[in-house]
Structure 1
């Protein structure tokens, strides 16, 4: 019986993940920047503003370059109130969690995700590339680990320069 409930839950999560939107309208696709293509700052600013993103720019005193800053949303994935699932259910939820994060990345809504290296309350982060906190929070809360109660989400606005890679 537990196995049937587990599979039904997995199918329900997959169906929700596959068919759910965050709103009645399809959310706007995030803007990605390939600085190799040298988009103009003014063109990029206009595009981001039209899509509803919060931005500002400044002049780098050292280089004289215009640096365009965009607001992203960083979601902290924290230990949730229900971590009592069987190992089989927890493994299935982990697979669904990874599929959710892959989907967010593939669709351009998440730029980077990963777990923390310790065993603390904060289990990992995802940086969402969305124009609003509401959208980032909605996408983060669609995670099957969150809907199952194994994780809870805490989202904060976060600023970063467009086109600067991690080093």
Structure 2
């Protein structure tokens, strides 16, 4: 009985290792849907938000600018144009990042032109082409299933 238990445990252990080291199955339908190339990657535009020259004159103005900024982020994410966004930790220059699901910097500039915090230069911006996993576009749909609060 002891030998059977040891053999059974060894088989389970071997299967677990095989499952962990097995090559993931390529999903051509998903790759095509997400726009992935042969490496599962695609082009995006990364936008670095930096501290701009404008300083809000009142708390009410600051609140209004940030509300408009967040509303724009939510709108673009819901439209599938903004794949990822978030603030950086405390530092003197960089405030946050956007990853736009667009191919050109011109398209990203058009999308950021509607953000009141960028329009007024509360945030200055740098635009960079970025090549990353096509799966990045799935972040927003996954995020909606794990957030307890919304902005």
- Superposition TM-score, scaled by structure 2 size: 0.65
Q: 1:106 aligns with which of 78, 89, 93?
A: 78
CA distance in structure 1 between the aligned counterparts of 2:107 and 2:28, rounded to whole angstroms? 26
CA RMSD of aligned residues (A): 2.7
CA distance in structure 2 between the aligned counterparts of 1:138 and 1:118, rounded to whole angstroms? 28
Aligned partner of 1:154 in structure 2 is 126
Aligned partner of 1:142 in structure 2 is 114
1:118 lines up with 2:107 in the alignment: no
CA distance in structure 2 between the aligned counterparts of 1:135 and 1:100, rounded to whole angstroms? 15
Unaligned runs of 5+ in 1: 1-37, 49-54, 58-66
Structure 1 runs, 4 residues or longer, greater than 2 Å off: 38-41, 163-166
- Superposition pairs for residues 28-47 of structure 1, below 5 Å? 38-40=27-29, 44=32
* Deviation of the 1:160 alpha carbon: 0.8
Aligned partner of 2:58 in structure 1 is 86
CA distance in structure 2 between the aligned counterparts of 1:85 and 1:101, rounded to whole angstroms? 23
Aligned partner of 2:42 in structure 1 is 70
Secondary structure of the residue aligned to 1:163 is: helix
- Superposition TM-score, scaled by structure 1 size: 0.60
Secondary structure of the residue aligned to 1:83 is: coil
Aligned partner of 2:100 in structure 1 is 128
User: How many residues in Structure 1 have an aligned counterpart in Structure 2?
Assistant: 114
Secondary structure of the residue aligned to 2:110 is: helix
1:75 and 1:140 in contact (8 A); partners too: no
Unaligned runs of 5+ in 2: 1-26, 140-151
Cα deviations by residue, 1:107-127 (Å, 9 ceiling, x for unpaired) = 000011111111321100010
